[in-house]
């Protein structure tokens, strides 16, 4: 396998380059490796994006994650752990960046100020 950054020869199973330290995103078969990171969703959010981020990570519907979380909150005993878990996730999980398609739509939809003549 060849490093994508410094172009030196590496072992086929390498995740990082021995020489430059760059992360290798191409597997030996030539397919890109799937690298998922648990992040708060910037698009699918109701409060903080925690449930949307968990749903994106697990590749399931976010409504299902929200329903499970609400059920955990309303079960009599674990109300405190469920709320604390949400708050901890809110603080610890990083915010996902806004996708470029959504960012460009929000910029084009923004009203433009009239220019003075």
Mean pLDDT score, 82-89? 86
Whether 59 contacts 4, CB under 8 Å: no
Mean pLDDT score, 29-46? 73
Is the pLDDT at 110 greater than 80? The verdict is no
pLDDT class of 67 with cuts at 50, 70, 90: very high
Q: Nearest 5 degrees, angle CA 99-CA 87-CA 83?
A: 125
> Across 25-29, 76-80, 100-104, which has the greatest mean pLDDT?
76-80
Is the pLDDT at 49 greater than 60? The verdict is yes
| CA dihedral angle for residue 51, residue 55, residue 58, residue 64, rounded to 10 degrees | 100
pLDDT class of 117 with cuts at 50, 70, 90: very low
């Amino acid at each position: 396998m060849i490093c994508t950054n410094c172009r030196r020869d590496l072992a086929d199973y390498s995740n990082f380059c021995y020489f430059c330290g760059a992360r290798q995103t191409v597997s030996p078969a030539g397919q890109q490796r799937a690298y998922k990171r648990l992040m708060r969703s910037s698009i699918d959010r109701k409060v903080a994006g925690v449930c949307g981020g968990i749903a994106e990570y697990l590749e399931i519907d976010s409504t299902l994650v929200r329903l499970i979380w609400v059920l955990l909150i309303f079960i009599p005993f674990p109300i405190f752990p469920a709320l604390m878990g949400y708050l901890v996730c809110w603080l610890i999980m990083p915010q996902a960046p806004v996708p470029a398609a959504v960012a460009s739509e929000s910029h084009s939809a923004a009203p433009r100020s009239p220019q003075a003549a």
